[in-house]
């Protein structure tokens, strides 16, 4: 149970931070939606790779 809660919290944080990164890039370039999606995807990918690396 604790792992699921931790994973959900991490995923929520990844989405929030990715959206923030994407929104900042979107504001700079004028393509908000695309950059929000890219930011979320990039942050989730980094989180997944980081999580897999730390368990080894």
Question: Cα–Cα distance between 55 and 45 in angstroms, integer?
Answer: 16
Average pLDDT (43-56) is: 69
Judge whether residue 55 has pLDDT over 70.
no
H/E run at residue 31: none
Q: With a cut of 70, say whether residue 35 has pLDDT above it.
A: yes
Residues 4-28 pLDDT 10s = 766 667 777 777 877 887 788 888 8
What local confidence, expressed as pLDDT, does residue 54 receive? 58
DSSP state of 48: H
CA-to-CA distance for 42 and 37, rounded, in angstroms? 9
When divided into structural domains, the chain yields a total of 1
Place of tokens 């900042």: 24
**In-domain check, residue 12:** no
Residue 6, in any domain of the structure: no
State which residues form the domain around 35. 21-49
pLDDT value, residue 5: 66
């Amino acid at each position: 149970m604790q792992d699921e809660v931790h994973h959900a919290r991490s995923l929520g944080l990844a989405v929030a931070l990715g959206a923030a990164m994407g929104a900042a890039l979107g504001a700079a370039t004028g393509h908000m939606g695309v950059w929000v999606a890219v930011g979320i995807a990039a942050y989730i990918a980094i989180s997944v790779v980081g999580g897999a690396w730390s368990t080894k």
